[in-house]
């Protein structure tokens, strides 16, 4: 199972698939889409669409979100 998750993360990173990576990390962290919404300001429906590959996060959105949410 751990090996499979590592492969999934590697595949998402290799494909620059932020939505898949977000879903994998969100579930692994035990966060709901609503919790991610609270952390990011993105709507829950957008997060769902992002994770399913229906929407994509544009670079300006990603950079402004990361600037507003430093680690």
CATH topology of domain 2-68: 434 Repressor (Amino-terminal Domain) (1.10.260)
Task: Output the pLDDT for position 4.
Answer: 73
Distance, in Å, from the CA atom of 43 to the CA atom of 46, rounded to the nearest integer, reads: 5
pTM above 0.75, yes or no: no
Distance, in Å, from the CA atom of 69 to the CA atom of 60, rounded to the nearest integer, reads: 14
Residue 52 has pLDDT above 80, yes or no: yes
Residue 18: count other Cβ atoms within 10 Å of its Cβ. 15
Q: Return the C-alpha torsion angle 32, 48, 41, 38, nearest 10.
A: -10
The DSSP secondary-structure symbol of 55 reads S
Task: Output the pLDDT for position 67.
Answer: 58
């Amino acid at each position: 199972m751990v090996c499979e998750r590592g492969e999934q993360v590697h595949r998402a990173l290799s494909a620059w698939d932020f939505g898949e990576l977000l879903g994998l990390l969100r579930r692994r962290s035990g966060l709901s889409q609503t919790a991610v919404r609270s952390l990011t300001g993105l709507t829950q429906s957008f997060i769902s669409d992002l994770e399913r590959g229906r929407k994509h996060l544009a670079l300006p959105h990603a950079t402004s979100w990361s600037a507003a949410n430093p680690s």
